[in-house]
Structure 1
Amino acid sequence: MRITGGKLKGRVIKCPDGIIRPAMDRMRESVFAILGDLDGKSWLDLFSGSGTIAIEAVSRGSKEVQLCEKDKIKVKQVLENVSITEKELGVKIGCHFMAVELFLKRCKDKFDYIFLDPPFPYKYRLDLLKIIEQRQLVKEGGFVMIHYPEEDALPEEIGTLTLKDKRIYGRSIVNFYSF
């Protein structure tokens, strides 16, 4: 995988061992293009895998970035990828290695952008979106984005979160929710 934009554009990110379905370069590049300038924005990368989305956010200007990944097999590679990025750009990426559900229930921070990329067989996407909405973890004017397979469906409204945009990339979809 490679970083598609910003200060680290073109840098290759190593994939960790274990099961991983990295976000396509085209999809990542499109999502970040839709969001525009990330200078100084906060970012939360859930189901982080290799940390690529978090690193892409830092490369494009985000200053407060956190990621969450529960697969212990991925810890070493994620920390290596993040460490290289932190040294190059001087931006700390907070790493949390636990279940996303637990992280969201404990999280006290609010973010400009939250990106969820759960495994395609994952059945609790709507539950996670409800937790984010109920706990008000996204800042006003920010977005919650979720990547999921086309055969699944998500509602246009989740409490006060409303679907603002929907992009299709092959057999996968990214929904953009905001208040």
Structure 2
Amino acid sequence: MAECLMDFERAMINSCLEAFPNVHVKCCWYHFVQALWRKIQKLGLTTSYETDPLVNTWFKQYMALPLILRRLIDDGLQLLKDTIPSNDYKYRKFLKYFEKEYIKRPSIDLWHHGNNDMKTNNSLEGYNFRLLMRFGLHPSIWEFLHFLKDEEALVSHLITHLVGGSGITSSTLVYSIMQCNIIVIGEWNYDVIAAAFLLFF
């Protein structure tokens, strides 16, 4: 069965399930952890999280729930309820928040990852950030076309590595980007492209 990994955005999840009913939707573990961290901050528990090892461990166990075996989640949740580090109302509010947002409303299967290889969509977020850094907010059509040409060359180079049986390491990626830079400079040297193109490279 095909899987779709995405952020915890209800509208996006519903749209995906409507358009692709046979797809198994999973939500990003990184965004799960970030949502819990924002709640910890909102409840004013940041200092306790940073200074009290029991509190820190308790919250991190919540953050790690998506990684344990599915059959152990109910027991894990009960254990966390039983070992609440303080009777302070803020911790009880966190318990209610977690139950409402991650137990009652969505399916546990939405955020449970277990043995899944892909637990986050960080690679996609990183690629989007890379595009933003290359393009800026409002690129001209020429910048856009130039970037697409360079991106196609980079992706083709990486695919060649994969098809040839080589893995893609960070050094392979750096090498590929450098190789594309060399190609562009070579094209400039032979007047294939204008010098103005190099200003946007």
TM tier relative to shorter chain: under 0.3
Rg (Cα) greater in structure: 2
Report the TM-score, using the length of structure 2 for normalisation: 0.23
TM-score when normalising by structure 1: 0.26
- Relative to total residues, which structure has the larger helix share, 1 or 2? 2
Q: Which structure shows the higher strand fraction?
A: 1
